Amino acid sequence: MGKQMIQVKASELLGITDRQVRNIIGRIRNNGDGAIAHRNRGRVAANKMPAELEARIGGIVKRRYPDFGPKFASEKLEEREGIKVSKEKLRQIMIAKGLWRVRRRRKEVHQWRERKAYYAMMVQMDGSHHDWLEGRGPELVFMGYIDDATNRVFGLFYDYEGVFPAMDSLERYISLYGLPRSLYLDKDSTYKTTRQPDTDELLRGKVAETQFERACGELEIGVIHAKM
């Protein structure tokens, strides 16, 4: 297969023109792999919560709301303490402080389907809840990635399955193996929402999305939800 044919095939798989493919190849030849790195790579998130504030929030919850779940505790923090923190962020803080135990959920079996023909066309991503330490420590979640064409496996352990583990593990996967064309996910609330579209989504003609789906959209990663 000639060089031109390979570039045309690449453009079809990436959903861009063959001219854009040639431009990308030219940038890599001139400047190396760093030429196509995401511009935000290596930057600290602008909305990252300071460690001092996390410690303060953890201390307040421990003293005043030790029996509350993340949702109720976040409401009380805003109502009584004047501290606004999302339920997901508070959940992370409470887990780190030993104030919240992760509940296991039952997984369903995925149906068989034909494998993709090319590397990175689709990556299966799933959180596996298990007593990985065999009673010698807390139950962990293995955030696993399997390339559908090559069956190559990548994964990391986390305390729970949620927005932060999903975002963090995807960032680490991309830093090692590059952007996948699409992700094959289950219908966990981290990846699929049941809420109605908000005003902004309606104005843009979008369906309701999770934070993870929006992040994938910005990276131009297609999201495929398993049919349970």
Residues of the chain with pLDDT under 70: 1-5, 11-15, 33-47, 102-113, 228
109 falls within a domain: no
The pLDDT of residue 15 is 65
Residues 65 and 147 in one domain: no
Strand bridging mode 140-147 / 123-130: antiparallel
Residues 157 and 205 in one domain: yes
The pLDDT of residue 99 is 84
The pLDDT of residue 187 is 79
Q: For the whole model, what pTM was predicted?
A: 0.55
Residues 65 and 153 in one domain: no
Residues 130 and 180 in one domain: yes
Residues 128 and 220 in one domain: yes
102 falls within a domain: no
Residues 75 and 18 in one domain: no
216 falls within a domain: yes
The pLDDT of residue 112 is 59
Residues 60 and 141 in one domain: no
181 falls within a domain: yes
Residues 65 and 130 in one domain: no
DSSP secondary structure string, 50-119?
A: PHHHHHHHHHHHHHH-TT--HHHHHHHIIIII-----HHHHHHHHHHTT--PPPP----PPPP-PPPSST
The pLDDT of residue 205 is 75
pLDDT digits (tens, 9 = 90+) for 112-141: 567 788 888 999 999 998 889 888 888 999
116 falls within a domain: no
Write out the two tokens for 97: 């402080």
114 falls within a domain: no
- Number of structural domains in the chain: 3
The pLDDT of residue 28 is 79
- CA 118 to CA 84: how far, in whole Å? 45
118 falls within a domain: no
The pLDDT of residue 96 is 84
Provide the residue range defining the domain that includes 73.
51-96
